[in-house]
């Protein structure tokens, strides 16, 4: 992948925050205001790909429709040095995946806030008519006090109406294999219950230190989401309560109809249960 220059138009690149196949995310200083922002830049190899620009335009449209403190704010689409880029709010904190890899025990005191704020973010997207379709720890930034920002709205899709739910056909399979709902894997029309399944995988990983399913290749992993029974969380984390184990089990139901009907239902349950049998201490 070609290295980006130190300056793109008015943006002075400071620190690379993330990288994907077609884009890089950087902390940058915008001149002349000297405001610190995050920018998502299409790399030079993909700059002429109209599809990449359309993805940024779509992400901007979704972001502009979402106004919630738990969702990263997207300001505008620009082009500098021939490279399309999104200008976004800077939230200079690690993603949840990195924190989980460092050890879930240290996250214990933050678990209720992380899960609640992530649930609020997903619920807000649903109320605005979107399903995220890529809920995973990598797309959740977390501050040291547990404050959350949901990122990466690139493959968000419009929630289907009644006819879409009844007669929706197959489409391209998009998402991350460790967190995809069975209906998403099958390429079926998905609604908010697919995000609920993905959130269940994230909650499981936050408590167990690993996703509910693992496999030697992506195909086997996807098949497990479709047909395998996930392990019980209280067997992997002895401090997890029966209540949170039951919630995760319901969120990971294979059939959408067997999951909580909405994120509001999930939030109601989250706010009424304890996550741990014994209090977890700050480290």
The answer to whether 220 and 198 have CB atoms below 8 angstroms apart is no
In Å, how far are 17, 200, 232, 282 from 270, measured between CA atoms?
Answer: 31, 12, 18, 21
Q: Are residues 84 and 179 in the same domain?
A: no
Q: Are residues 162 and 53 in the same domain?
A: no
Residue ranges making up the domain that contains 70: 7-88
**In CATH, what number is assigned to the domain containing residue 61?**
3.30.200.20
> Which residue out of 102, 105, 123, 134 is catalytically annotated?
134
Number of domains into which the chain is organized: 2
Q: Are residues 163 and 257 in the same domain?
A: yes
In a domain, 152, yes or no: yes
Q: Are residues 254 and 224 in the same domain?
A: yes
Three-state SS annotation for the chain: CCCCCCEECCEEEEEEEEECCCEEEEEEEECCCCEEEEEEEECHHHCCCHHHHHHHHHHHHHHHHCCCCCECCEEEEEEECCEEEEEECCCCCCEHHHHHHHCHHHHHHHHHHHHHHHHHHHHHHHHCCEECCCCCHHHEEECCCCCEEECCCCCCEECCCHHHHHHCCCCCCCCCHHHCCHHHHCCCCCCHHHHHHHHHHHHHHHHHCCCCCCCCCHHHHHHHHHHCCCCCHHHHCCCECHHHHHHHHHHCCCCHHHCCCCHHHHHHHHCCCCCECCCCCCC
User: Domain ends where: 57, 88, 119?
Assistant: 88
In Å, how far are 104, 116, 209, 243, 246 from 272, measured between CA atoms?
Answer: 22, 11, 24, 9, 13
Q: Are residues 162 and 39 in the same domain?
A: no
Q: Are residues 125 and 229 in the same domain?
A: yes
Token duo for residue 123: 């619920």
Q: What pLDDT is attached to residue 163?
A: 42
User: Domain ends where: 72, 88, 104?
Assistant: 88
In a domain, 2, yes or no: no
In a domain, 280, yes or no: no
User: Domain ends where: 40, 62, 88?
Assistant: 88
Q: What pLDDT is attached to residue 167?
A: 45
In a domain, 14, yes or no: yes
Distance, CA of 281 to CA of 283 (rounded, Å): 6
* pLDDT beneath 70, residues of the chain: 1, 161-173, 281-283
Token duo for residue 152: 């990466």
In a domain, 283, yes or no: no
**Looking up tokens 């009644």, which residue turns up?**
162
Q: Are residues 155 and 43 in the same domain?
A: no
Please give the share of the chain, as a percent, with pLDDT higher than 90: 86
Q: Are residues 103 and 74 in the same domain?
A: no
In a domain, 276, yes or no: no
**In CATH, what number is assigned to the domain containing residue 173?**
1.10.510.10
Q: What pLDDT is attached to residue 173?
A: 65
In a domain, 18, yes or no: yes
Tell me the pLDDT tens digit for each residue of 180-201: 999 999 999 999 999 999 999 9
Q: Are residues 185 and 253 in the same domain?
A: yes
Active site residue 134: yes
The answer to whether 132 and 175 have CB atoms below 8 angstroms apart is no
Tell me the pLDDT tens digit for each residue of 22-42: 999 999 999 999 999 999 999
Tell me the pLDDT tens digit for each residue of 160-182: 864 444 445 555 668 899 999 99
Please tell me the pTM assigned to this model. Answer: 0.93
Q: Are residues 213 and 232 in the same domain?
A: yes
Q: Are residues 184 and 127 in the same domain?
A: yes
In a domain, 278, yes or no: no
Q: What pLDDT is attached to residue 21?
A: 85
In Å, how far are 56, 125, 153, 172, 195 from 157, measured between CA atoms?
Answer: 14, 10, 9, 12, 11
Q: Are residues 73 and 210 in the same domain?
A: no
């Amino acid at each position: 992948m070609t290295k980006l220059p130190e300056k793109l138009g008015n943006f002075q690149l400071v620190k690379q925050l993330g990288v994907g196949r077609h884009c890089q995310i950087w902390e940058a200083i915008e001149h002349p205001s000297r405001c610190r922002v995050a920018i998502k830049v299409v790399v030079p190899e993909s700059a002429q790909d109209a599809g990449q620009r359309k993805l940024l335009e779509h992400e901007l449209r979704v972001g502009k429709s979402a106004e919630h403190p738990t969702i990263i704010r997207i300001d505008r689409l620009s082009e500098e040095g021939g490279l399309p880029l999104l200008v976004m709010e800077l939230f200079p904190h690690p993603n949840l995946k990195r924190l989980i890899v460092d050890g879930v025990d240290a996250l214990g005191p933050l678990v209720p806030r992380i899960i609640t704020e992530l649930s609020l973010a997903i619920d807000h997207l649903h109320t605005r008519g979107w399903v995220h379709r890529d809920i995973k720890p990598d797309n959740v930034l977390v501050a040291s006090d547990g404050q959350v920002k949901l990122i990466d709205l690139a493959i968000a899709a419009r929630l289907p109406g009644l006819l879409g739910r009844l007669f929706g056909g197959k489409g391209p399979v998009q998402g991350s294999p460790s967190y995809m709902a069975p209906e998403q894997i099958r390429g079926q029309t998905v609604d908010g219950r697919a995000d609920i399944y993905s959130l269940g995988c994230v909650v499981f990983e936050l408590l167990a230190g690993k996703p509910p399913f693992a496999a030697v290749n992506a195909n086997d992993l996807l098949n497990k989401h479709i047909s395998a029974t996930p392990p019980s969380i209280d067997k992997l984390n002895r401090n997890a309560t029966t209540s949170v184990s039951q919630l995760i089990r319901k969120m990971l139901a294979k059939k959408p109809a067997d999951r909580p009907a909405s994120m509001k239902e999930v939030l109601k349950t989250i706010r009424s249960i304890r996550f741990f049998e014994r209090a977890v201490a700050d480290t």
